[in-house]
Amino acid sequence: MNAIKTKWLSHPLAKVLLWLALPLVVGILLALLVPRPVIGIVYLRDAIDANTAGDLDTQIRYAYDHPEINAVVLVLDSPGGTVADTESTYLELIRLRQKKPVVTVVENMSASGAYYLAVGTDYIMVQPSSEVGNVGVRTTLPMAPLVLEEEVSTGPYKFFGDSRDATLRILDPLKQGFYRAVVLGRGKALKATPEDVLSGKIYIGTEAVRLGLADSLGTQSDAIVKAASMAHVWNFAVRDLRKPSGLPDYFAYSFFFETKDGELTSYPKKAGTYFLYIPADDGRLP
């Protein structure tokens, strides 16, 4: 038996197999351990609030923690939303960008808080007629303080949060933070004047590119290619990060005010301070 083995091993073909094919097979097997790069897709097609921002943050952290995700494309179609949730997601995006490139592609709209998120990414693509911008803050002033017979509190602003004047003044530092995020995010690309940016105007995609509020026109496919290019990968896979990050199927949260007829308005359900664009509607009251 040993004689046969020795004889086979001494055969020239066996030597070839041993020293060429076997290492190659091992190499191929080991090569399979080299992960195929993945471009993660994160969608925001709703207003930003605790629910949607929480979902975004989960996906962003997943991308951060998983090395096979080489770049992320943030797909935006949102009028913005709550202030703190927007800032939180913005900072999560900045953290992710330290490791991996993030490209934004705007579908219909990236307004207000959604644009805040966009400037937290490396590159912004828009459609020619996307609505982009609306930098600024809006709030509803509380009513003048009053005391009630049946509802009591321990301080004059317990019911109202703050005075009307103070509430108005709070907008300014929020606006400054937003503006700085735009300046830092857009860098030298920004051609718009501070007043253009802070006016709260909505720009169509082509104009946004001209003003440096966005980088180029492009589709989601273009954004994926761009993200891959920035991550220096090709032959990549594309993966919606919602499921891998353990989130359930998308559920539409009730951010907007709904009329008694079941019609969804553009107004948030709760009064408050928002990075939010409320389009001029047909005059119907919320």
Partner 1 sequence: MTRLRIPLAAALIALPILIRTVWFYQGYYWRGGSIATPEYNSFTIPQPPLSTPAALPEPDVSAPGGIILLDQSHENLFSSSELASLTGIIDARGGRVENILSGNYDERTLADQLKYAAAYISVCPTISYSSGEVQLLQEFVQRGGRLLILTDPTRSVLRVDYSGFGSAVIVADVIAANTLLAPFDITFSDDYLYNMTEYEGNFRNVYIRNFGDHPLTDGLQTLVLYAAHSIQTQTGTSLLLTSGEIKSSRTDQSGGFSAAALDASGKVLAIGDMSFLQPPYNQVADNALWIQRIADFLLGAERVHDLKDFPFLFQRPVVIVPMSDVSLSASLLGPITSIQQELASVGVVSSVATEAADGKDLIILGTYSSPGITKYIDPLGITLPSTSVFMNSLPMIDIPGFGSIPSTGIGLVLLSRTDTRTTLLLLAEESYSLTDLMSVIGPNGFSNCVMQGNVAVCGLSGGSSFGG
What are the residues binding partner 1 (CB under 8 A)?
A: 19-20, 22-24, 26-28, 30-32, 34-37, 70-71, 90-91, 94, 97-101, 165-166, 168-174, 176-178, 180-181, 184, 194-195, 198-199, 230-236, 282-285
Minimum CB separation of residue 204 from partner 1 in Å reads 18
Q: Which is nearer to partner 1, 46 or 122 (CB)?
A: 122
Minimum CB separation of residue 122 from partner 1 in Å reads 9
Cα-based angle 133, 99, 122 (whole degrees, multiple of 5): 25
Q: Which is nearer to partner 1, 188 or 284 (CB)?
A: 284
Nearest C-alpha neighbor of 209 from the set 192, 227, 228, 221: 192
Name 44's bridge partners: 76
Minimum CB separation of residue 40 from partner 1 in Å reads 14
Q: Which is nearer to partner 1, 4 or 28 (CB)?
A: 28
Beta strands in 57-142 (DSSP E): 69-78, 80-82, 102-111, 123-126, 131-133
Cβ neighbours of residue 113 closer than 8 Å, sequence gap 6 or more: 48, 78, 79, 80, 81, 82, 83, 85, 86, 274, 275, 276
Minimum CB separation of residue 171 from partner 1 in Å reads 7
Q: Which is nearer to partner 1, 35 or 156 (CB)?
A: 35
Tell me which amino acid residue 62 is: Y
Q: Which is nearer to partner 1, 76 or 174 (CB)?
A: 174
Q: Which is nearer to partner 1, 10 or 98 (CB)?
A: 98
Name 103's bridge partners: 73, 123
Minimum CB separation of residue 17 from partner 1 in Å reads 12
Q: Are 131 and 104 in contact (CB under 8 A)?
A: no
Nearest C-alpha neighbor of 48 from the set 128, 99, 115, 140: 115
Minimum CB separation of residue 169 from partner 1 in Å reads 5
